[in-house]
Structure 1
Amino acid sequence: MPAPKVWVTGLTVGAIAVVAALAVQADKGPRPTATARPSASASASGGGQPSPTASAPAAVPDASGTGRRIVYSLGLRRVWLVDESDAARRTFAVWPGTVAPDPGSYSVVSRRDATTGSDGVAIENIVYFATKSGLNIAFSNAVDGSSPPPASGTQTGGIRMRKADGSAVWTFGSTGTTVVVVN
C-alpha cells in the first residue's frame, strides 16, 4: 500500500489539474456585459425602498427651485447635485435617519470632517443643513461604508449615503449651498 504522502500528493496534483482545466474553460466562455439602467418609471414602480444601488431617475424633481443646489426627495429617498444650469450632475439613493427635515429650502450651515453619529457609527463628510426635534439634520457617510438601520427607539437625523456619494456631497455642499427638501 502506498504511503499517505503519495496519496496526498496525487490528490493535490489531480485537484490542480481540474482547477486549471476549469479556468481555461471559463476564460473561453461568455463575458458579462453592462446593461442599460431601467428608466425612472421602472425604478419608481419597483416598489419597496430604493437602495443606494437602485437606478437613478434622470429628472430633478419639479418645484425644487433653480440654480446650484442639493435636492433631497423624502419620498424617493434620493439626492441630486444640481449645477447652475439646472442640470443634475449626480444623483443617488440614500438611507434616511428616523427624523426627516420638513420640505422647504435650507442652506448648508456647517460641515465637519468626521465624528460619531447619534447611532454610534463613525461617520465622515458631514454636511449640516437643518435641525428638527432637537437633532441636527445632515448628509454623511459611514467611515466603513456600511448603512445599518438605526437602533430601535433611537432618533437620528443623519441622511446616510455610500462613501463615494458622501465625498461628492462634501465637495459640492460648501457652507451656504442651498438644500431643497421635497416630498
Structure 2
Amino acid sequence: MAGTSSGIVAGLTAAALGTVGFLAYRAQATVPASLGAGPTAHATAPSKAPRDQHNPAALPSGSGTGERVVYSVDDDRVWLVAPGNRVQRSFPVRPGSVDPPAGTYWVTSRSNAATGTDGVPIEHVVRFTSVDGVAIGFSAAVNGGSDTAADPSVKTGGIRESREDGDAMWKFATIGVRVVVIR
C-alpha cells in the first residue's frame, strides 16, 4: 500500500511541476522582451512632437500608434490612447524632480497604495522605469494635493495626477501597457 501512495504523490508532483513549467513558459512568451529594461529607440517619436496650439489636449503627432500612455515631459500632460489612436482621456500632471528620458517603456509594476518618496500617501501607482535609482511612475496623492510643486532637493519620480485621473490611469495602464515619453 505504501508503494501505491508514494507513486501517486510522485505522479502528482510531476504533474504540478509540468504545469508550473508550462505557465512560466507562457508568461515569458507573452511579456515584451524589453519589459523592465531602459528606454528603447522610438523611430517615429521626435524629441519634440508638434502640438496643436489651439487644443492642448490633442494627441501630439509622432507619439506612436496603438494602445499606449503618452507622457509629455515638456507639457506636463498625459494621454490615454486606445487602439485606433482614439484618446480616451487627456489630463495635466505635476512631475517629480526626476524626469524620464524620451523613449518607449512598458508598465512594470503597480501598487494600489504606497507612500511617495516625498512622504505623501499615494494611490494607484503605475511604474514604468527608473532613473539613477529613482522609480518613475504615475500616482495620485490620497489627500488630493496634486498642485504642490515637488521639492527640488528631494529626488522624486512620482508624476502626480488628480485622484480622478489617477483612477482612470489605474484602470487603463495595466502591466505590460506601453508608455511613450516625449519631450
Q: Does the pair score TM above 0.5? A: yes
4+ runs deviating over 6 angstroms = none
When residues 131 and 152 of structure 1 are mapped into structure 2, their CA distance, relative to the original with a 3 A threshold, is: closer
Contact kept in structure 1, 2:57 and 2:91, CA below 8 Å: no
1:41 aligns with 2:53: yes
Equivalent residues in 2 for 1:49-88, closer than 5 Å? 57-88=56-87
Residue segments in structure 1 that go unaligned for 5+ positions in a row: 1-39, 43-55
TM value normalised by structure 1: 0.69
1:159 and 1:140 mapped to 2: Cα distance? 6
C-alpha separation in 1, matches of 2:174 and 2:141 = 20
Equivalent position of 1:136 in the other structure: 135
- Give the root-mean-square deviation of aligned CA atoms: 1.2
Identity among equivalent positions (%) equals 47
Range that drifts further, 93-102 or 145-154:
145-154
Partner residue of 1:6?
Answer: none
Higher Cα Rg, which structure: 1
Deviations along 1:120-149, one digit per CA (max 9) or x if unpaired, are 000000000011011000100000100222
- Look up the match of 1:166: 166
SS at 2:165's partner residue? helix
Structure 1 residue 151 displacement after superposition = 2.6
Residue 152 (structure 1) shift: 4.1
Equivalent positions of 1:1-183 (< 5 A) are 41-42=53-54, 57-147=56-146, 148-183=148-183
Deviations 1:150-174 (A, max 9, x none): 2341110000010000000000000
Aligned length in residues? 131
Change (3 A) 1:86 1:165: same
CA distance in 1, matches of 2:117, 2:64: 31
